[in-house]
Amino acid sequence: MADDRPLVTIAGLGPGGEGQITGETLAVIDRFPDSASFVRTRRHPNAHHMARAASFDEVYDAGDSLDDVYRSIADRIVDAATAGGEALYTVPGSPLVLERAVRYLRTDDRVDVRLLPAISFLDTAWASLTIDPVEARVRMVDGHTFAGQAAGETGPLLVAHAHAPWVLSDIKLAIDAGPEMKAIVLQRLGTDEEQITEVAWPDLDRIVEPDHLTSLYLPEVTAPIAQELMRTVELMHRLRQECPWDQKQTHASLRKYLIEEAYEVVEAIDRVTAGDEDGYLDLEEELGDLWFQMLFHAELATEAGAFTLADVAQTVHDKLVGRHPHVFGDTSVTDAADVEKNWEAIKKTEKGRDSVMDGIPAALPALTFAEKVLKKAQRSGATAEADGVSQRLTSADLDAAALADAGEEQIGELLLAVVERARLADIDPEGALRSATARARDRFQAQESSGTPSRWIYG
């Protein structure tokens, strides 16, 4: 190291208890002037020893990403050391445990770095858990990057930086486990407010109120970490932090993209059904695009404090279990029709609805909307044929002259009759019309290219 470089002294404030800060650190704090002293955060019990030092809490609040925050901290400390010859930087716990800014300072060739050892949160965690981490082969993981770091891991894990609901949500989402798996929540270890709580895995982000002195101990992880799933969740976090376009999006602005991606999935499914050899490749890509839209809306809801992606996964899991009593309960069914009938009855009870028609989205495409109304009516014992709707297809209403004078109501009733006929024949009317339209388009384009004009493109 070059002797003429400015010196940065980095000291740890211990895990939290007043007696866990070393005398060497206290002596260094007393020696440094306020103008050259920095504390990473005041959200720590021992930060009062640095009462007149500058903190970086406002950097956390304004930073676009955690990496930007830590690089900004390192640069400011280097600037201060360069200006005055030396600087002091104090951090929670120990300088060498999960301190990314310290890592940047140690590799910065503009300064020399002196480290003062300290007690870390790890020491208090092992004491509170009464385990030997070496003998138990505990893996230590940063909660911010849990899925990536812990991918494929099983056995005991100690998770640091579990300070926010979204971190707990991401951790829970990364492991597919039920209430039989437990998490031990370690909070404010070594302080008068120390708390150790065991919670069932599904409740991790529901009942725990995390703070900056929260970590988790997972005694036995048996399910593999969902690495690829969580990589997309982490990507979504980063895009919201760093991409101007993603930052300005809202639920309303994303609505059209969700609809577009859903239709592209349908188109890919049609290619698979038609036997297109690239159909599944297309479907894989389009499902990914639709998944991203789901991620985006869940991310916005998380930021609003409404729900998290883990809540979405848990909700659909519980709903599907509840609506399949023939699989998870003692209900008996004979065929798919019984399943659908039970589904509607359970759904009506769950939602507190007065009618089976409640909950049909009015924004559905018209043909799909009509099919759903007719289908739900039939499940309840009604039949459109009883009103003579489908018979109209063979009545004088289809006479060319009658059609020429038909108004909106008559045309609408005829279309409804067509949908009913399609439904009774187990034909998707939306798909049928789409296919017929595509054939008409192809015929018209063929006529265009051949130079043969035509006013009639129907088959």
Closest C-alpha to 16, from 218, 214, 160: 214
Q: Domain map of the chain by residue range? A: 7-119, 124-229, 249-322
CB 57 within 8 A of CB 41: yes
Q: What is the pLDDT of residue 112?
A: 95
List the pLDDT tens digit at each of the 459 positions of the chain.
456 899 999 999 998 878 889 999 999 999 998 889 999 998 888 999 999 899 998 887 666 667 788 899 999 999 999 999 999 999 998 998 888 899 999 999 999 999 998 988 899 899 999 999 999 999 988 888 887 777 667 789 999 989 888 889 888 888 877 788 899 999 988 788 889 999 999 899 889 999 888 999 999 887 666 667 777 888 898 899 889 999 999 999 999 899 899 989 988 998 999 899 889 999 999 999 999 999 999 999 988 888 888 888 888 888 888 889 988 888 888 888 888 888 877 877 777 666 666 777 767 777 777 777 777 666 666 554 534 444 555 554 555 556 667 778 887 888 888 888 888 888 888 778 777 777 766 766 676 567 665 554 555
The fold for domain 249-322 equals: Helix Hairpins (1.10.287)
pLDDT attached to residue 387: 46
pLDDT tens sequence across 393-432: 555 455 555 666 777 888 788 888 888 888 888 888 877 8
Terminal-to-terminal C-alpha distance of the chain: 85
Q: Specify the DSSP class assigned to residue 139.
A: E
Under DSSP, the state recorded for 337 is H
Question: Which CATH number applies to 7-119?
Answer: 3.40.1010.10
Contact 420, 384 (CB under 8 A): yes
Instruction: Name the burial class of residue 420, with classes exposed (0-12), middle (13-18) and buried (19+) by CB atoms within 10 angstroms of its CB.
Output: buried
Closest CA to 144 of 200, 199, 67: 67
- What are residue 195's DSSP bridge partners? 187
User: Which residue, 170, 107, 119, 117, is CA-closest to 142?
Assistant: 170
Q: What is the pLDDT of residue 354?
A: 66
pLDDT of residue 109: 93
259 phi, psi to nearest 5 deg: -65, -45
Give the DSSP H/E element, type plus range, for residue 9.
strand 7-12
Sign of the alpha-carbon torsion through 197, 214, 183, 305? positive
d(CA 51, CA 227): 42
Instruction: Let me know if the fold of 7-119 is the same as that of 124-229.
Output: no
Fold of 124-229: 3.30.950
Question: Exposed, middle or buried by CB within 10 Å (0-12, 13-18, 19+), for 30?
Answer: exposed
Distance of CA 309 to the CA centre of its chain: 4
What is the structure's pLDDT at 180?
87
For residue 10, give Cα distances in angstroms to 1, 93, 175, 266. 17, 11, 36, 57
Q: What is the pLDDT of residues 320-355, one digit of tens each?
A: 888 899 888 888 888 888 888 888 778 777 776 666
Write out the two tokens for 262.
């859903």
Can you give the pLDDT at residue 1? 45
Tens-digit pLDDT profile for residues 354-398: 666 677 776 777 777 777 777 766 666 655 453 444 455 555 455
What single letter denotes the amino acid at residue 327? V
